[in-house]
Amino acid sequence: MTAPVMVGPSPAGGGPVPFLTDIEYGVLEGRANGLNATAIAARLQYSYRAIEDAATRTVRKLGARDMAHAVFLACHAGLLDGRPQRHGDHAGFAAHRYRDEEPCEACWEGERAYRRDRRAARKANVA
Protein backbone atom coordinates (compact mmCIF):
# COMPACT_ATOMS: atom_id res chain seq x y z
CA MET A 1 0.00 0.00 0.00
CA THR A 2 1.32 3.43 -0.88
CA ALA A 3 1.37 6.40 1.47
CA PRO A 4 -1.68 8.68 1.28
CA VAL A 5 -1.35 11.89 -0.74
CA MET A 6 -1.58 14.74 1.76
CA VAL A 7 -2.37 18.36 0.96
CA GLY A 8 -3.32 21.18 3.33
CA PRO A 9 -4.58 21.26 6.90
CA SER A 10 -7.60 19.35 8.11
CA PRO A 11 -10.80 21.35 8.67
CA ALA A 12 -11.05 19.61 12.05
CA GLY A 13 -7.65 20.94 13.09
CA GLY A 14 -5.73 17.66 12.74
CA GLY A 15 -2.92 16.93 10.34
CA PRO A 16 -3.00 17.29 6.59
CA VAL A 17 -5.77 15.62 4.60
CA PRO A 18 -5.75 14.28 1.07
CA PHE A 19 -7.27 16.21 -1.80
CA LEU A 20 -10.30 14.35 -3.15
CA THR A 21 -11.95 15.05 -6.49
CA ASP A 22 -15.69 15.72 -6.61
CA ILE A 23 -16.44 12.15 -7.71
CA GLU A 24 -14.20 10.68 -4.99
CA TYR A 25 -15.89 12.81 -2.36
CA GLY A 26 -19.30 11.85 -3.77
CA VAL A 27 -18.41 8.17 -3.54
CA LEU A 28 -17.16 8.59 0.02
CA GLU A 29 -20.30 10.46 1.04
CA GLY A 30 -22.54 7.92 -0.69
CA ARG A 31 -20.84 4.99 1.02
CA ALA A 32 -21.08 6.80 4.35
CA ASN A 33 -24.84 6.99 3.76
CA GLY A 34 -25.09 3.27 2.99
CA LEU A 35 -25.40 3.46 -0.79
CA ASN A 36 -23.88 0.84 -3.07
CA ALA A 37 -21.91 1.65 -6.23
CA THR A 38 -24.97 1.31 -8.48
CA ALA A 39 -26.97 3.81 -6.42
CA ILE A 40 -24.03 6.21 -6.22
CA ALA A 41 -23.57 5.97 -10.00
CA ALA A 42 -27.22 6.85 -10.55
CA ARG A 43 -27.09 9.72 -8.05
CA LEU A 44 -23.87 11.23 -9.44
CA GLN A 45 -24.70 10.35 -13.06
CA TYR A 46 -21.48 8.43 -13.68
CA SER A 47 -20.96 4.90 -14.91
CA TYR A 48 -20.67 2.03 -12.45
CA ARG A 49 -17.05 1.52 -13.53
CA ALA A 50 -16.18 5.19 -12.89
CA ILE A 51 -17.63 4.91 -9.38
CA GLU A 52 -15.67 1.73 -8.65
CA ASP A 53 -12.46 3.36 -9.91
CA ALA A 54 -13.11 6.45 -7.78
CA ALA A 55 -13.72 4.23 -4.74
CA THR A 56 -10.39 2.49 -5.30
CA ARG A 57 -8.59 5.85 -5.61
CA THR A 58 -10.31 7.15 -2.47
CA VAL A 59 -9.28 4.14 -0.40
CA ARG A 60 -5.70 4.48 -1.67
CA LYS A 61 -5.52 8.26 -1.07
CA LEU A 62 -6.77 7.91 2.49
CA GLY A 63 -4.45 4.98 3.19
CA ALA A 64 -7.42 2.84 4.22
CA ARG A 65 -7.85 -0.94 4.16
CA ASP A 66 -11.32 -0.78 2.60
CA MET A 67 -14.18 1.66 2.01
CA ALA A 68 -15.56 1.36 5.55
CA HIS A 69 -12.14 2.26 6.91
CA ALA A 70 -11.94 5.14 4.39
CA VAL A 71 -15.25 6.53 5.70
CA PHE A 72 -13.96 6.27 9.27
CA LEU A 73 -10.70 8.04 8.37
CA ALA A 74 -12.59 10.74 6.47
CA CYS A 75 -14.79 11.42 9.50
CA HIS A 76 -11.73 11.51 11.75
CA ALA A 77 -9.93 13.93 9.39
CA GLY A 78 -12.96 16.21 9.14
CA LEU A 79 -13.74 15.43 5.49
CA LEU A 80 -17.12 14.01 6.51
CA ASP A 81 -19.21 15.25 9.40
CA GLY A 82 -19.95 11.79 10.79
CA ARG A 83 -23.20 12.94 12.36
CA PRO A 84 -26.54 12.04 10.81
CA GLN A 85 -27.66 14.81 8.49
CA ARG A 86 -31.29 15.88 8.26
CA HIS A 87 -32.38 18.05 5.37
CA GLY A 88 -35.67 19.42 4.25
CA ASP A 89 -37.51 19.41 7.56
CA HIS A 90 -37.71 21.21 10.90
CA ALA A 91 -34.98 19.01 12.43
CA GLY A 92 -32.63 19.84 9.56
CA PHE A 93 -33.28 23.54 10.02
CA ALA A 94 -32.63 23.24 13.76
CA ALA A 95 -29.42 21.28 13.13
CA HIS A 96 -28.10 24.04 10.86
CA ARG A 97 -28.90 26.66 13.50
CA TYR A 98 -27.29 24.55 16.24
CA ARG A 99 -24.07 24.39 14.20
CA ASP A 100 -24.21 28.18 13.56
CA GLU A 101 -24.72 27.58 9.83
CA GLU A 102 -27.08 29.28 7.43
CA PRO A 103 -29.78 26.67 6.67
CA CYS A 104 -29.91 25.32 3.13
CA GLU A 105 -32.91 26.09 0.93
CA ALA A 106 -34.43 22.63 1.47
CA CYS A 107 -34.32 23.12 5.23
CA TRP A 108 -35.83 26.60 4.93
CA GLU A 109 -38.69 25.10 2.92
CA GLY A 110 -39.14 22.37 5.53
CA GLU A 111 -39.15 24.96 8.32
CA ARG A 112 -41.77 27.06 6.51
CA ALA A 113 -43.97 23.98 6.06
CA TYR A 114 -43.49 23.07 9.75
CA ARG A 115 -44.46 26.58 10.88
CA ARG A 116 -47.47 26.61 8.52
CA ASP A 117 -48.65 23.25 9.93
CA ARG A 118 -48.14 24.41 13.54
CA ARG A 119 -50.12 27.61 12.87
CA ALA A 120 -52.94 25.59 11.31
CA ALA A 121 -52.96 23.19 14.28
CA ARG A 122 -53.13 26.08 16.78
CA LYS A 123 -55.99 27.68 14.87
CA ALA A 124 -57.85 24.37 14.76
CA ASN A 125 -57.48 23.98 18.56
CA VAL A 126 -58.72 27.52 19.21
CA ALA A 127 -61.88 27.20 17.14
Mean pLDDT over 99-111 rounds to 86
The confidence score (pLDDT) of residue 7 equals: 36
Mean pLDDT of the chain: 81
pLDDT at 53: 97
Q: For residue range 44-87, what is the model confidence (pLDDT) as tens digits?
A: 999 999 999 999 999 999 999 999 999 988 888 778 876 666 67
The whole-number pLDDT of residue 127 equals: 60
Can you give the pTM of this predicted structure? 0.56
- Asked if residue 2 has pLDDT above 50, the reply is no
CATH assignment of 7-77, among 1.20.140.10, 2.40.50.140, 1.10.10.10, 3.30.200.100: 1.10.10.10
Query: Looking at the predicted structure, is the pLDDT value of residue 25 above 60?
Result: yes
- Alpha-carbon distance of 10 to 15, in angstroms, equals 6
Instruction: Give a three-class secondary structure readout of 55-113.
Output: HHHHHHHHCCCCHHHHHHHHHHHCCCCCCCCCCCCHHHHHHHHHCCCCCCHHHHHHHHH
3-state secondary structure of 9: strand
